[in-house]
Amino acid sequence: MFIVTNRIKTKKGMAAKMAPAFTKPGLLQKMEGFHKVEVLVTQNIEEYDELNVNMYWENLENFTSWRNSDHFREAHQGSKPDQEKESPIIGSKLIISELASTIKALPEDEQE
- 26-65 confidence digits (pLDDT tens): 899 999 999 999 999 999 999 999 999 999 999 999 999 9
Counting residues of the chain whose pLDDT is more than 70, the rounded percentage is 93
> Residue 95: which domain range?
2-100
Which of 2, 108, 110, 109 minimizes the C-alpha distance to 55?
Answer: 2
CATH code for position 74 = 3.30.70.100
| Inside any domain, residue 112 | no
Residue 13 has pLDDT above 60, yes or no: yes
Which of 95, 75, 97, 96 minimizes the C-alpha distance to 22?
Answer: 75
Number of compact structural domains in the chain: 1
Report whether 9 contacts 91 (CB < 8 A): yes
Cα four-point dihedral sign 72, 92, 43, 99? positive
| Inside any domain, residue 18 | yes
| Inside any domain, residue 106 | no
